[in-house]
Amino acid sequence: MPKTRQVVISGRIVDFRIKTGARRLSMTIDERGLRLSAPTRMRLADIDHFVLDHGAWVLQKLDELARVCRPRHINIKDGAPLPLLGQDIEVRVIPGANRFRWIAQTLVLEARPDANLGGLATRALKAQALIHFSGRLAHYTAQIHLAPPPLGLSAARTRWGSCSRNSGIRINWRLIHLAPHLGDYVVAHEVAHLLEMNHSVHFWRIVGTLYPDWKTARNELKTCAASLPIL
């Protein structure tokens, strides 16, 4: 069975991916587009009919996702807004030696004339992410009576966090752009892995103890993923 396929819905070509081995036919739409899980021996024609039968819903959800998840290319310059923990802050650029500092809700970039302002802003955001998520890691590990493990930042494209008993926890620094409760969910998720290194029922019980509204946060995070700023 091919992994990718197309159907035409109301004159519009819709691509989707198929994953086989499921017990029943189902579909999901997120920042990666339309995806179907299907039984191994299901006919392609039946899969196509399933998508077409839900055509109006598919188009509606794809359009909603396109509106919410349009990538934001931000040109870092003096006066530019920049999302930080769900709120826009202001960027100020002044002459300097390629350093940054935070003054209330303002990121001040002290930059040389030839400076890469996007790179300088990224350094500032990563530094802020390390401070913020270190505090949140201490908060959640205290709830399960553990000392915080080493914390690192990642720039993974498809993962928000990871946990290793040897190297500690890594959190995607770009979460610093989003509302604090979304970063909290990711931190709580990785902290739960300190007790259960899998995604078993027991693991999700631990997540629920640390962060009761994890299902809502997980779904919201999927919607926000493709709308993160690109510096």
How large is the average pLDDT for residues 173-187?
A: 95
Residues 213-229: pLDDT tens digits? 999 999 888 877 767 88
What pLDDT is stored for residue 191 in this prediction? 97
Cα separation, 208 vs 192, whole angstroms? 9
Instruction: Look up the CATH superfamily of 116-230.
Output: Metalloproteases ("zincins"), catalytic domain (3.30.2010.10)
What pLDDT is stored for residue 70 in this prediction? 53
Cα separation, 142 vs 5, whole angstroms? 48
Where do you find CATH 3.30.2010.10 in the chain? Answer: 116-230
3-state secondary structure of 72: strand
What pLDDT is stored for residue 202 in this prediction? 95
Residues 115-170: pLDDT tens digits? 999 999 999 999 999 999 999 999 999 999 999 999 999 988 778 999 998 899 99
What is the signed CA dihedral for 197, 199, 205, 207, rounded to 10 degrees? 70
Cβ(229)–Cβ(193) below 8 Å: no
Q: What is the pTM of this model?
A: 0.70
pLDDT band with cut points at 50, 70 and 90 for residue 231: confident
Percentage above 70 pLDDT, the chain:
95
C-beta neighbour count of 143 within 10 angstroms: 13
Low-confidence winner among 19-23, 191-195, 226-230 (lowest mean pLDDT): 226-230
What pLDDT is stored for residue 73 in this prediction? 79
CA distances 187 to 17, 139, 161, 217, Å, are 30, 10, 8, 12
Which letter does DSSP use for residue 145 in this model?
A: T
Crossing angle (nearest 10°) for helices 55-68 and 44-53: 70
